[in-house]
Amino acid sequence: MGLFCCAWNLACSSARVIFCSVIRFCALVCGLFLILPAPGAVSAQQQPPRTLRASVSAPLDAPGRLEVRALAAAYPERIDETALRNEDWAARIDDTWYYWADGRMLPYEERFDNRRYTGIRFYNYALGPLQLREIDEATAERLRERSRQPASAGLPRHNGFLDALYGISTRSDAYRWIVDTTFLGLKTQAHRMIVEPLSSVERQIRSLMVTDAEVRAFVAELQQVSTFSWREIAGTNRRSYHSYGVAVDLIPRSYHGRFGYWRWAMQSGIEEWWDVPPEQRWRPPQPVIDAFENNGFVWGGKWLSFDPIHFEYRPEVILLARWREAGIR
């Protein structure tokens, strides 16, 4: 009898151990299911920064909101997504996010050292007829100093965003995107992105030629249309928009004694070259400029460092200008 009792106690003890182990195992498994996300779910730590930052810490009107929005609207076939990520507005092209960084669009690892680079020029472009800017004395002195010094390379531009936007990072890349085309009867080569906008500009100009003698004379005087040219901006180490095939120079047979570039005015001995009156600058007729602006091109004649033969396809800048006119902030 004593042997039976001992055996019974041992069996009960073993059963209790096994039962407790089973309970602990079940509790552990249940706890894991409570902690781990369900299939397809994403934990807070794994959520894209866009979701976390937009809902928790950064305001939706953080700097760069309008600029990034304009980029997305201007290039819907290239920019896949925009979002507020890591407290900055960003745009995704292919698999890379580019972050707004005080006028620059930089990949994540470069955004904290943005002062190393010059911006992409999201400037306040003014639509309509040319109006010379009022220059304060501090700016005038800076420009005079620029005139006295030899050409300076200045800060480089981080090309990552533009390279991704246009699909071009080397000269050999360019030929996959550059196509032969014509503009106002003159042969040129341009990025396929601007072929249709440029064709629309031409249609508007040809329509103007029917009734506008000045426009007819301007077109008749054109000697060359220069678009794609792999080079840097004069006096800098920054790649020209001509390298991407999205800038257009309308070169006339004669400038008729007027300045076709700011450096020409400076080199002629004019100290305050930025203040050269509009009538002393070569320029296309205003309806031609309007036709370009209507199709997403900015005119270099409105820049402080004026370049009146030059147009650039910058639909995001034109959009920002129209939004400002409409009071959109």
pLDDT by residue for the chain (329 residues), tens only, comes to: 443 344 334 344 444 434 444 444 333 333 333 323 333 332 322 223 332 233 234 466 788 999 999 999 999 999 999 999 988 999 999 999 999 988 899 999 888 777 778 778 788 899 999 999 899 999 999 888 877 766 555 677 888 999 999 999 999 999 999 999 999 999 999 999 999 999 999 999 999 999 999 999 999 999 999 999 998 776 666 789 999 999 999 999 999 999 999 999 999 999 899 999 999 999 999 999 999 999 999 999 999 999 999 999 999 999 999 999 999 88
- Sheet containing 297-299, strands listed edge to edge, beginning at the edge strand earlier in sequence: 222-226, 247-252, 310-313, 297-299
Per domain, the residue ranges of the chain are 49-116, 137-163+173-314
Cα separation, 217 vs 200, whole angstroms: 20
- Under DSSP, is residue 41 helix (H, G, I), strand (E, B) or coil? coil
Domain 137-163+173-314 belongs to what topology? Muramoyl-pentapeptide Carboxypeptidase; domain 2 (3.30.1380)
Q: Is 65 exposed, middle or buried (0-12, 13-18, 19+ CB in 10 A)?
A: middle
